[in-house]
Amino acid sequence: MIELKESEISIVKKHLTGVEKAALAYSVTSNDDLAAGADILNRIKEGEKAMTTRKEEITRPLMDGLASARDLFRPFEAGFTAAKKIIKDKMQTWMDAEARRIAEEQRRIEARVLKGTMRSDTAAKKFEATGVAPTTAQGTTGKIITRTVTKFRIVNADIIPRPYLCPDMEAIKAAVIDRKQEVLGVEVYNERQIVSR
């Protein structure tokens, strides 16, 4: 575990407390006050930069290690995922085929009863003999169950109602700011912001 020296923490806290107090006490009534505000902003940025530098000295190796571990195991994860999908697809295909077979056999029995070529007691026995479509399986070490999950797919994006559409802010920014294009429904405006240097 990475430990920060107490002095590092106290320096950051002390700097932050100082700039917070200065920010709360700050008021602007003249050009001189603007200059004083610029100095306070500079002190804030210096403290923030020092803290960020130290934080990244700690977190960068951890993030690099995490990225390295993810890269190392990614092919294996993909292999396990693919193997699970193959097994599940084969199981689902067979279970669906078995359910169709049973349903078809039961329809044939019903049709014969309605036609009068099979007695109802014989039909009941045959109906029972068709079995039940499997929804679970218990192995020696594993068990599967099936469940019905409601999903959706977009079949025509052109007719989706507006509340369900999400504007691509990056594409809009590239068009109106970078390429100076006009986009219907988008207003370009200027906003003044303070930038400290």
Q: What pLDDT score was predicted for residue 162? A: 87
In a domain, 67, yes or no: yes
Contact 15, 40 (CB under 8 A): no
Q: What pLDDT score was predicted for residue 25? A: 95
In terms of residues, how long is the chain?
Answer: 197
Helix, coil or strand: residue 121: helix
Across the chain, mean pLDDT equals: 91
Angstrom distance (rounded) from CA 3 to CA 136: 51
Locus of tokens 């192995």: 139
In 40-197, beta strands by DSSP E: 136-138, 143-145
Angstrom distance (rounded) from CA 34 to CA 30: 7
5 pLDDT above the threshold of 80: no
Angstrom distance (rounded) from CA 1 to CA 181: 52
Please write the tens of the pLDDT for every residue from 80-90.
Answer: 999 999 999 99
Angstrom distance (rounded) from CA 21 to CA 1: 33
Q: What pLDDT score was predicted for residue 45? A: 94
Q: What pLDDT score was predicted for residue 46? A: 92
In a domain, 190, yes or no: no
Angstrom distance (rounded) from CA 56 to CA 131: 64
Angstrom distance (rounded) from CA 127 to CA 103: 10
In a domain, 88, yes or no: yes
Give the pairing of strands 136-138 and 143-145.
antiparallel
Instruction: Count how many Cα atoms sit within 13 Å of the Cα of residue 16 in the half-sphere of its side chain.
Output: 10
**Proportion of the chain above pLDDT 90, given as a percent:** 78
In a domain, 91, yes or no: yes
In a domain, 103, yes or no: yes
Domain count for the chain? 1
Please, what sign has the CA dihedral across residues 111, 114, 119, 122? positive
Q: What pLDDT score was predicted for residue 197? A: 76
In a domain, 166, yes or no: no
Q: What is the DSSP string of 53-78?
A: HHHHHHHHHHHHHHHHHHHHHHHHHH
Please, what sign has the CA dihedral across residues 112, 115, 121, 122? negative
Give the range of the structural domain holding residue 80, as residue numbers without chain letter. 6-132
In a domain, 77, yes or no: yes
Angstrom distance (rounded) from CA 53 to CA 82: 41
In a domain, 101, yes or no: yes
Lowest-confidence range among 7-16, 75-84, 86-95? 7-16
